[in-house]
Every structure is written in structure tokens, then in C-alpha cells.
Amino acid sequence: MTEELQKQDVADTSSIKADMIAAIPSLRAFAVSLSGNADRADDLVQETLVKAWSHLSSFQAGTNLSAWLFTILRNVYYSEYRKRRREVADSDGAFAAQLAQPASQNDHMDFLDFTAAMQKLPPDQREAIILVGASGLSYEEAAAVCSCAVGTMKSRVNRGRNRLAELLASSPAAQKIIAKAG
Amino acid sequence: MNEVDKPKMTKKADKESGIRVVENRSVPKAQAQQSEIQVQIGRQLRTVYDDVLNQPIPDRFMELLQKLDTSKK
């Protein structure tokens, strides 16, 4: 009996391990978008995995593992964010400059402008537009990750993208877009 | 012509970005510019995200999970 239980346990952790590995790319993508910093993002992911592993018992089998991991990651990010904020305010673009610029950037909005503008958003709006706009979560799923109401999530997404548009409107690349669209 | 058949405004939900783009050929310029900026924002968001998403998983995470898995139980 005991042996059987142990066997069960081993099987469970190895399948959870496989699921966690599968979730790593989206966790990293979320962390980079959220923090604007590739190195910091990987530290966030690392801490998330360690936390998740030590709290496996609180994960409900059969529910969405990556949503659970996203929730842990944002908690880690916010507790660090509050700490950092007390220390030094992040200077604009300092983080962005550390990110490798994707090869596909040409006449689009300037990458550094965009990353810097993202970091100027209030973090709740930033995470909202990442979860809904890039991770492909539904408003309901994103609201669950952030433990807020669906309506709150929708309003964060709206305010976030409007604010982002305002911030970017003055960038040279956006001026070009405006000129084209006009 | 048959203006009745043509909706004055077509709302297109950009499914991937979750950003609703309002398209209207005769909208004021400012609105067209705004929606163009929103399209760019959606694209930019996904560029950053997908770029990382498509990277191989760094070894440090495979090693970490291996370590966690063997240390537990």
C-alpha cells in the first residue's frame, strides 16, 4: 500500500514536472514583458518554479497549471516591485536597453520607445494588457490570474492601451504612423 | 449608392490582442490614427512576447527542476 502510494507520488511529480517545463516559455515571455528586463525575468521564473514546487500541495489537480504559475509569478514580481520601489526608481529605458532587439523591427514603432512606455504604465495595467493582448488569455482567465473582477480587468486593459497610445504618440515612429494614417 | 447595405462602422475584434479596432473609412483623422497606433501596440506586444516564447528553454531551468524533483521525497 505504502509502496503504491509512493509510486503514485512519483508519477504525479514527474507529470507535474513535465507540465512545468511546458509552461516555462510562456512564463518567461510573461516575465520579460512584465519586468522589461531579460535577466530579471529569468530570476522571476526561477523563483516562481521554486515557490510552485514547494507549494505543490496547494495546486488543484486538473486545473490550469500555467494559470497557477502565472499567479505565483506576478506575486513574486509585486513583492519585489514594492521592495525595489523603495530603493531606487528604475530609470527609463535602462531595462529596455538590456533586452535584445527582435530582428523583425524595422519601420514599426521604435522598440526601445515601446519597452520604455510599457514600463511607465502602472503595473496593474501593464500586466492586464500583456495577459490579454499577448498571452492570449480571455478576460475571465486574466481576471482569475490577477484575482480581480472581470470588469476590473477590462477597464485595466482599456486604460492601459489608451495610456500607452498617449505615451507613444510623441515618439518619432508614431509620428510616421500618424502621418501615414492621416 | 447602396449605402444602406454598408454598415457605417465595422467593429473588428482583434482576437489575438483582445484590442477592439474600430474601422471606419470616414472617421475623423484622429480616430484613424488612434486605431493605427492601437494596431501597432498589439503587434509590438506580441513581438516582445513571442520572441521570448520561441526561445529554447535555458538549461538553468531544466537543471533546477531536476534538482527539485530529486530532492523532494
**Where are the domains positioned within chain B?**
10-71
Residue ranges of domains in chain A, CATH in brackets = 1-90 (1.10.1740.10), 106-182 (1.10.10.10)
Q: pLDDT tens across B12-42, in order?
A: 444 544 555 555 555 577 788 778 888 889 9
Rounded CA gap, A25 and A28, in Å? 5
Rounded CA gap, B7 and B28, in Å? 17
**Would you call A102 and B49 a contact, using CB atoms and an 8 Å cutoff?**
no
Q: What is the pLDDT of residue A92?
A: 45
How many C-beta atoms surround the C-beta of residue A141 within 10 A? Answer: 19
Residue B65 has pLDDT above 90, yes or no: yes
Q: What is the pLDDT of residue A84?
A: 75
**Would you call A181 and B47 a contact, using CB atoms and an 8 Å cutoff?**
no
Q: pLDDT tens across A32-62, in order?
A: 999 999 999 999 999 999 999 999 988 988 8
Among A residues 47-66, those touching chain B with beta carbons less than 8 Å apart:
49-50, 53
Residue percentage of chain B with pLDDT more than 90: 34
* 3-class DSSP string for A20-43: HHHHHHHHHHHHHHHHCCHHHHHH
Residue A111 has pLDDT above 80, yes or no: no
Q: What is the pLDDT of residue B27?
A: 59
The answer, as to whether pTM is greater than 0.80, is no
Q: What is the pLDDT of residue A83?
A: 79
How many C-beta atoms surround the C-beta of residue B23 within 10 A? Answer: 12
DSSP string for residues in B5-71 = TS-S-EEEEETTTTEEEEE-TTS-HHHHHHHHHHHHHHHHHHHHHHHHHTSPPPHHHHHHHHHHHHH
In this complex, is the C-beta atom of A12 within 8 Å of any C-beta atom belonging to chain B? Answer: no
The torsion of the CA quartet B55, B60, B63, B65, rounded to 10 degrees, works out to -70
Q: pLDDT tens across A31-40, in order?
A: 999 999 999 9
Rounded CA gap, A71 and A144, in Å? 8
ipTM: 0.75
Rounded CA gap, A133 and B11, in Å? 17
Residue with the bigger pLDDT between A128 and A111: it is A128
Q: What is the CA radius of gyration of chain B?
A: 22
